[in-house]
């Protein structure tokens, strides 16, 4: 179909779908008027039952932890999928990496940029670890902290040193970390099965609310997710950067 | 003895992570054996679950969060024989795919097996869960693995385009499912299917209709109903053969499973007074899918694309089975899923063998070259006849049950639609076998120009003998397809399972109150099946007539086939819609959802 | 602050605009970003459903446990959703990069490896 035909057909149908959707939405109560019994129950249950003060983390890693396991594996699968799709083809050979887009000369990186980028690494690392471990107390948790942790190594790239970044980024170690993180979540759940309880039930003692170890197995799961997400995002960034910056030429010419 | 319900999901996912680590240090052979063993283990566990769930619904609460005050707090698996049966079918086909790929890919790392194991875990979770958002999460997990597996052959041009079309269309579908679930949550405040069903009760208002439309349309996109089916043909033409087996054999049928499950648990009470309106809409959808799928199937020359469109036409038959909303028709749909899954997988394996030995899958280029592959040719032809409805295959039984149910509702003419769909898809395959293996119609040009797909190699060498690991799965699956149709016990078990599936009250009671209700009862009398064998044989005969007419038409009709140019013009119009352009596909998707929703609103609102 | 149906209408509008972008796109990266817009619509919808006028965030580290709080479940759902979206987008972008490598173009109109 030509662009015009497509646009006209879509506008006709799309307006209908928009009207249909809004018609259904107007049947809901207005925003802010109603809250579900499920939500109220959970809000009242997290501190007494699990000593967790951040209810969202409790929902994510405890009440509906099985969903989060699935979500963690979606990240795992996508990373593996990206690695699969970006694999070096049989007819390609890797050549020297370059530090700039083709056809452009990169200006030499200034010392100011280098110092700023590299000096941000340690605070970011600390902040990432803080976010991962304090998810039970304040907003945070494995996913958010993991993404922050992934950016720590990327500062080296931002400082302008792609070759050093490539050397520091030990591919095997990061992949191992990722699979360890993914397996870690499942193993925590299986620990409950070994102790004759349902999958993912809490098996550790609960520290008082407001401390890092409150929530029993939740800090463990959060840590495992943090490692997996951090390693996963780092692998994704590495794969895309390699695709863009490492020259791959056909074999024999 | 550990509790079984979480294992079909947990074990493949854990092994996938472990295999990634192993794959970094060891070579491929070390990865293959644990993968096959895992898949076999999951099949065994699912079979045990089928047997156990026939003694009563199995409800398993994750994290130990059982309902408090009849409010479901955690996520539950609710296992009934049909759900466990779907999971068994998934794992069986994954085992077959693993065995087939032992010799298939000449050089591949461990990532193929890792992704397949994740795919397996996701499909099992999808079949066993009782929570709406959990269903969505497993749906997305299934899709992520599928997108990557589809675009596997990145060195060619077609696979990446096909994978992109697949990914974009299915992502839009998943988004619709999520929006529908959000609407249901806004309306009922629950995410557990049983609780949503109980909260909705028998009230029906506009939000419920819109939510039903969005959720059902999203799953129908996965199920490749027309006009959401465009991605299926593209994806199948370019994905590696073991992956196609899973797509056509179970992934598409899981979409319909979700539609059926959500309808019966959540909406059946609310829509009970509008059942005839619902029936009409699904009849229309099913008929359209049957006819478009069958027609497009017959005009293909690329055999994998042909098999993909034949899946679309059989999905149409399954939609008819669901849409009649009776136990007998749903039993027909279940039988069709099993029978079609076995036969279609065997056919894909055969096409993989053809590609491996002869280097091509295009019917016109293969003319007569297949004569050395006698075994494959026989299995291929048997599969084609099975799709046309040859007794005693499972597909024949499935078609028959749906036809009987339709007759019981005064819709006897529906039988002709089913026969046309079956004949078109079966005849296409028989025609392929006749031309490629026996050299019939050697000098005949193609009736309509087939699709233009750039096909590449999947394996490097052209071998002199088809390896046993490739022929074995195909033969075994065809045998299972016959067994499913012949076995009286299997038919009885399906009928009993369908009654459990449709029993909404028992489901809700078991989940929310922990009541142990067993409604699985083997029927005393059974529908007469083999007395109607002549219907199946009639369809097969029609298929042969069509093949002969196509392959020898210039000798039979010297001045051209009467009405041929009209038919060709219509078919070419249809083919032009399948343009390979993702924007076109999404436009048809939106048109389809709007018409579907509009029809439901007008008939039920 | 009373919001009426504002967030819901916004969600529907984002839904429509995202689909419009996908259908009329001339560049695969633009198309993929429109998918991202489509998914933002579901976040707005979910968060709108979970909002409660006059309530606080569901974090009880410094407030008493019985304070009315907004719905934590939709927030967890949106969190899960965002992760899912990011990962699916990564896969789509990879496919787009490979398409550019193999076809030499990012324009969906010019992709011609599959037709009919």
Q: Count of domains in chain A?
A: 1
Interchain CB contact of A252 with B (< 8 Å): no
User: Residue C54 pLDDT more than 90?
Assistant: no
Show Cβ contacts of residue B263 under 8 Å, excluding neighbours closer than 6 positions: B212, B216, B271, B322
Q: Count of domains in chain C?
A: 1
Mean pLDDT of the region B326-355: 91
Interchain CB contact of B168 with C (< 8 Å): yes
Cβ contact A53–C59 (<8 Å): yes
| pLDDT score, position B238 | 86
Chain C partners within 8 Å of B178 (Cβ):
42, 81
* Spatial contact of A32 and C47, defined as CB atoms under 8 Å apart: no
- What's the N-to-C CA distance of chain B in angstroms? 51
B515 and B387, same domain (yes or no) = no
B300 and B436, same domain (yes or no) = yes
B301 and B420, same domain (yes or no) = yes
Single out the residue of B140, B387, B344, B117 nearest to residue B253, CA to CA: B344
- What's the N-to-C CA distance of chain C in angstroms? 54
Q: Cβ of A177: how many Cβ atoms within 10 Å?
A: 19
Cβ contact B234–C114 (<8 Å): yes
Cβ contact B590–A13 (<8 Å): yes
Q: How far is A199 from chain C (nearest CA, A)?
A: 20
Interchain CB contact of B333 with A (< 8 Å): no
Question: Measured at the alpha carbon of residue B475, what is the angle toward residues B470 and B477, in degrees to the nearest 5?
Answer: 100
**Residue C78 resides in a domain:** yes
Which of A63, A67, A183 has its CB closest to that of B65?
A63
Which of C19, C73, C116 has its CB closest to that of B578?
C116
Tokens 């802010």 belong to residue: A32
Q: Cβ of A97: how many Cβ atoms within 10 Å?
A: 15
Q: Label residue A26 exposed, middle or buried (CB < 10 Å: 0-12, 13-18, 19+).
A: middle
Cβ contact C98–A10 (<8 Å): no
Which of A21, A139, A143 has its CB closest to that of C12?
A21
What's the helix, strand, coil split of chain C in %, to 5?
A: 65, 5, 30
Single out the residue of B567, B575, B308 nearest to residue B452, CA to CA: B575
Pick from C87, C88, C109 the residue to mutate for testing the A interface (most A CBs within 10 Å).
C87
| pLDDT score, position B152 | 83
* Spatial contact of A141 and A132, defined as CB atoms under 8 Å apart: yes
User: Residue B1 pLDDT more than 80?
Assistant: no
Cβ contact C83–A143 (<8 Å): yes
Chain A partners within 8 Å of B191 (Cβ):
38
* Spatial contact of B328 and B527, defined as CB atoms under 8 Å apart: yes
Give the orientation angle of helix B275-298 with respect to helix B564-577, to 10 degrees.
110
Low-confidence residues of chain A: pLDDT under 70: 89-92, 98-102, 247-253
Show the domain range for A154: 54-250
Which of A21, A30, A74 has its CB closest to that of C87?
A74
Mean pLDDT of the region B81-97: 94
Which of C48, C73, C93 has its CB closest to that of A31?
C48
| pLDDT score, position B36 | 93
Cβ contact A186–B17 (<8 Å): yes
Tokens 């083919």 belong to residue: B575
Interchain CB contact of C27 with B (< 8 Å): no
**Residue C16 resides in a domain:** yes
> Residues 210-229, chain B: which have Cβ within 8 Å of A?
210-211, 213-214
The model's confidence at residue B265, banded by pLDDT at 50, 70 and 90, is: very high
Tokens 């149908």 belong to residue: A13
B430 and B514, same domain (yes or no) = no
Single out the residue of B263, B140, B171 nearest to residue B212, CA to CA: B263
Q: pLDDT tens-digit profile of B125-157?
A: 999 999 999 999 999 999 999 998 988 877 778
Which of B20, B189, B214 has its CB closest to that of A38?
B189
**Residue B498 resides in a domain:** no
Strand partners, C52: A32
Which residue in chain C has the smallest CA separation from A249? Answer: C101
Q: Count of domains in chain B?
A: 2
Single out the residue of B46, B131, B27 nearest to residue B94, CA to CA: B46
**Residue A64 resides in a domain:** yes
Interchain CB contact of B586 with C (< 8 Å): yes
Single out the residue of B92, B90, B111 nearest to residue B17, CA to CA: B111
| pLDDT score, position B378 | 86
Give the orientation angle of helix B230-238 with respect to helix B157-188, to 10 degrees.
140
**Residue B386 resides in a domain:** yes
**Residue C57 resides in a domain:** yes
Show the domain range for B289: 273-449+471-486+539-556
**Residue C100 resides in a domain:** yes
Q: Label residue C77 exposed, middle or buried (CB < 10 Å: 0-12, 13-18, 19+).
A: buried
Q: How far is A31 from chain B (nearest CA, A)?
A: 10
Eight-state DSSP code of residue B239: S
Percent of chain B predicted with pLDDT > 90: 42
Distance CA A194, CA A189 (A): 9
Give the orientation angle of helix B374-388 with respect to helix B327-358, to 10 degrees.
160
| pLDDT score, position A253 | 42
Which of C88, C92, C115 has its CB closest to that of B580?
C115
Which of A7, A42, A81 has its CB closest to that of C91?
A81
* Helix (H) / strand (E) containing A53: none
- For chain A, list the contacting chains (3+ Cβ pairs, <8 Å): B, C
- Give the least confident one: A180-184, B228-232, B536-540: B536-540
Pick from B73, B132, B156, B161 the residue to mutate for testing the C interface (most C CBs within 10 Å).
B161
Q: Complex ipTM, two decimals?
A: 0.95
The model's confidence at residue B462, banded by pLDDT at 50, 70 and 90, is: low
Tokens for C72, please give them. Answer: 């934590």
| pLDDT score, position B459 | 60
> Residues 104-163, chain A: which have Cβ within 8 Å of B?
none
Strand partners, B68: B71
The model's confidence at residue B456, banded by pLDDT at 50, 70 and 90, is: low
- What's the N-to-C CA distance of chain A in angstroms? 40
φ, ψ of residue C29 in degrees (nearest 5): -65, -40
B410 and B481, same domain (yes or no) = yes
**Residue C37 resides in a domain:** yes
B436 and B326, same domain (yes or no) = yes
> Residues 178-197, chain B: which have Cβ within 8 Å of C?
178-179, 182-183, 185-186, 191
The model's confidence at residue B186, banded by pLDDT at 50, 70 and 90, is: very high
User: Residue B2 pLDDT more than 80?
Assistant: no
| pLDDT score, position B264 | 93
| pLDDT score, position B43 | 95
| pLDDT score, position B8 | 93
| pLDDT score, position A223 | 93
Q: How far is C28 from chain A (nearest CA, A)?
A: 15
Tell me the CATH number at C53.
1.10.287.3510
Single out the residue of C35, C98, C116 nearest to residue B580, CA to CA: C116
| pLDDT score, position C101 | 86
φ, ψ of residue A222 in degrees (nearest 5): -60, -45
Eight-state DSSP code of residue B60: E
Give the orientation angle of helix B327-358 with respect to helix B394-408, to 10 degrees.
150
**Residue C115 resides in a domain:** no
Convert B109-141 to b/e letters by CB count within 10 Å (16 or more is b). Answer: bbbbbbbbbbbbbbbbbbbbbbbbbbbbbbbbb
Tokens for A19, please give them. Answer: 């009207």
The model's confidence at residue B460, banded by pLDDT at 50, 70 and 90, is: low
| pLDDT score, position B41 | 95
**Which of residues B560 and B28 earns the better pLDDT score?**
B28
Distance CA B265, CA B257 (A): 12
Q: How far is A110 from chain C (nearest CA, A)?
A: 31
Cβ contact C24–A10 (<8 Å): yes
| pLDDT score, position B455 | 65
Show the domain range for C22: 6-110
Cβ contact C59–A54 (<8 Å): yes
B513 and B405, same domain (yes or no) = no
Interchain CB contact of B580 with C (< 8 Å): yes
φ, ψ of residue B422 in degrees (nearest 5): -65, -45
Mean pLDDT of the region C62-87: 90
Chain C partners within 8 Å of A36 (Cβ):
71, 73
Preceding peptide of A118 cis, ω within 30°: no
Alpha-helix residue ranges (DSSP H) falling in B5-151 = 7-25, 28-53, 81-100, 111-128, 132-150
Q: pLDDT tens-digit profile of C79-114?
A: 999 999 999 999 999 999 988 888 888 888 888 777
User: Residue B107 pLDDT more than 60?
Assistant: no
Mean pLDDT of the region B479-493: 86
Distance CA B320, CA A115 (A): 68
Percent of chain C predicted with pLDDT > 70: 97
Q: How far is B454 from chain C (nearest CA, A)?
A: 6
User: Residue B218 pLDDT more than 70?
Assistant: yes
Interchain CB contact of C39 with B (< 8 Å): yes
Cβ contact C99–B143 (<8 Å): no
Tokens for B597, please give them. Answer: 């929703």
**Which of residues A94 and B32 earns the better pLDDT score?**
B32
Tokens 């006897």 belong to residue: B412
Tokens for B416, please give them. Answer: 């002709």
Chain B partners within 8 Å of A201 (Cβ):
63-64
Q: What is the bridge-based pairing of β-strands A246-250 and C114-115? A: unpaired
Mean pLDDT of chain B: 87
Which residue in chain C has the smallest CA separation from A62? Answer: C76
């Amino acid at each position: 179909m030509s662009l015009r035909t497509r646009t006209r057909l879509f506008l006709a149908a799309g307006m209908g779908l928009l009207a249909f959707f809004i018609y259904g939405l107007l049947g809901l109560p207005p925003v802010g008027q109603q809250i579900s019994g499920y939500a109220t129950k959970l809000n009242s249950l997290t501190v007494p039952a699990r000593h967790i003060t951040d209810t969202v983390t409790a929902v994510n890693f405890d009440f509906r932890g099985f969903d989060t396991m699935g979500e963690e594996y979606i990240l795992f699968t996508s990373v593996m999928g990206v690695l699969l799709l970006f694999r070096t083809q049989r007819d390609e050979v890797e050549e020297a990496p370059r530090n700039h887009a083709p056809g452009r000369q990169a200006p030499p990186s200034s010392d100011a940029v280098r110092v700023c980028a590299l000096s941000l690494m340690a605070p970011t690392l600390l902040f990432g670890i803080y976010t991962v471990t304090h998810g039970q107390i304040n907003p945070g948790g494995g996913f958010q902290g993991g993404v922050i942790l992934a950016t720590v190594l990327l500062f080296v790239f931002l400082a302008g040193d792609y070759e050093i970044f490539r050397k520091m980024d030990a591919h095997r170690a990061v992949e191992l970390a990722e699979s360890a993180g993914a397996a870690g979540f499942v193993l925590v759940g299986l620990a409950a099965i070994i102790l004759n309880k349902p999958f993912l039930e809490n098996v550790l003692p609960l520290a008082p609310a407001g401390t890092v170890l409150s929530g029993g197995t939740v800090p463990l799961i959060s840590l495992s997710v943090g490692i997996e997400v951090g390693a996963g995002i780092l692998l994704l960034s590495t794969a895309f950067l390699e695709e863009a910056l490492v020259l791959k030429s056909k074999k024999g010419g | 003895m550990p509790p079984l319900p979480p294992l079909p999901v947990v074990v493949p996912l854990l092994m996938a992570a472990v295999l990634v680590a192993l794959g970094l240090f060891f070579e491929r052979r070390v990865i293959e054996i644990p993968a096959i063993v895992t898949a076999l283990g999951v099949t065994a566990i699912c079979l045990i679950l089928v047997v156990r769930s026939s003694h009563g619904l199995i409800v398993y609460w994750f994290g130990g969060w059982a309902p408090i005050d009849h409010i479901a707090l955690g996520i539950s698996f609710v296992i009934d024989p049909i759900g466990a049966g779907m999971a068994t079918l998934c794992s069986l086909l994954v085992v077959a795919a693993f065995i087939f790929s032992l010799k298939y890919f000449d050089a591949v790392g461990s990532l193929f097996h890792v992704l397949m194991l994740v795919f397996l875990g996701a499909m099992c979770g999808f079949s066993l869960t009782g929570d709406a958002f959990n269903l969505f999460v497993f749906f997305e997990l299934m899709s992520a693995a599928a997108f990557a597996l589809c675009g596997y052959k990145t060195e060619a041009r077609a696979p990446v385009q096909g994978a992109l079309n697949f990914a974009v269309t299915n992502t839009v579908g998943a988004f619709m499912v999520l929006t529908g679930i959000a609407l249901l949550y806004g309306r009922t405040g629950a995410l557990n299917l049983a609780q949503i069903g109980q909260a909705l009760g028998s009230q029906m208002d506009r939000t419920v209709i819109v939510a039903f439309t969005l959720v059902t349309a999203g799953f129908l996109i996965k199920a490749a109903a027309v006009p959401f089916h465009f991605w299926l043909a593209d994806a199948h033409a370019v994905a590696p053969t073991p992956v196609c087996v899973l797509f056509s054999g179970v992934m598409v049928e899981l979409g319909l499973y979700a539609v059926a499950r959500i309808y019966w648990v959540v909406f059946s009470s609310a829509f009970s007074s509008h059942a005839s309106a619902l029936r009409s809409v699904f009849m229309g959808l099913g008929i359209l899918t049957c006819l478009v799928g069958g027609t497009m199937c017959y005009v293909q020359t690329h055999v994998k694309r042909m098999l993909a469109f034949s899946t679309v036409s059989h999905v149409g038959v399954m939609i008819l089975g669901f849409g009649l909303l009776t136990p007998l028709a749903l039993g027909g749909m279940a039988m069709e899923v099993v029978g079609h899954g076995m036969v279609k997988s065997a056919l894909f394996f055969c096409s993989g063998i053809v590609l491996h030995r002869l280097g091509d899958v295009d019917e016109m280029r293969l003319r007569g070259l297949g004569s050395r592959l006698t075994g494959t040719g026989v299995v291929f032809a048997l599969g084609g006849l099975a799709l046309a409805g040859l007794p005693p295959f499972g597909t024949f039984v499935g078609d028959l049950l749906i036809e009987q149910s339709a007759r019981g509702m005064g819709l006897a003419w529906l039988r002709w639609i089913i026969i046309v769909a079956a004949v078109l898809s079966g005849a296409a395959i028989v025609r392929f076998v006749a031309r490629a293996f026996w050299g019939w119609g050697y000098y005949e040009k193609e009736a309509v120009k087939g699709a233009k797909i750039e096909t590449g190699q999947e394996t490097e060498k052209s071998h002199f003998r088809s390896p046993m690991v490739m022929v074995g799965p195909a033969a075994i699956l065809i045998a299972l397809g016959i067994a499913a149709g012949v076995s009286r016990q299997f038919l009885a078990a399906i009928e009993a399972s369908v009654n459990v599936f449709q029993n909404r009250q028992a489901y809700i009671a078991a989940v929310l109150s922990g009541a142990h209700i067993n409604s699985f009862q083997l029927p005393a009398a059974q529908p007469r099946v083999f007395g109607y064998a002549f219907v199946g044989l009639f369809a097969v005969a029609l298929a042969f007539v069509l093949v002969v007419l196509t392959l020898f038409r210039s000798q039979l009709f010297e001045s051209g086939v009467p009405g041929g140019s009209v038919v060709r013009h219509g078919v070419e119009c249809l083919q032009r819609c399948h343009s390979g352009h993702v924007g076109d596909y999404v436009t048809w998707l939106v048109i389809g959802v709007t018409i579907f929703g509009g029809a439901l609103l007008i008939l039920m609102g | 602050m009373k919001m009426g149906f504002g967030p819901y209408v916004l969600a529907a509008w984002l839904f429509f605009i995202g689909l419009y972008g996908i259908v009329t796109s001339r560049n695969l990266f633009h198309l993929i970003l429109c998918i991202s817009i489509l998914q933002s619509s579901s976040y707005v919808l979910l968060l709108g459903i979970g909002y409660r006028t006059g309530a606080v965030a569901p974090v009880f580290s410094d407030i008493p446990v019985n304070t009315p709080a907004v719905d934590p479940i939709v927030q967890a759902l949106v969190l899960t959703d965002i992760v899912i979206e990011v990962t699916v987008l990564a896969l789509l972008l990879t496919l787009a990069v490979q398409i550019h490598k193999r076809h030499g173009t990012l324009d969906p109109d010019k992709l011609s490896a599959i037709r009919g």
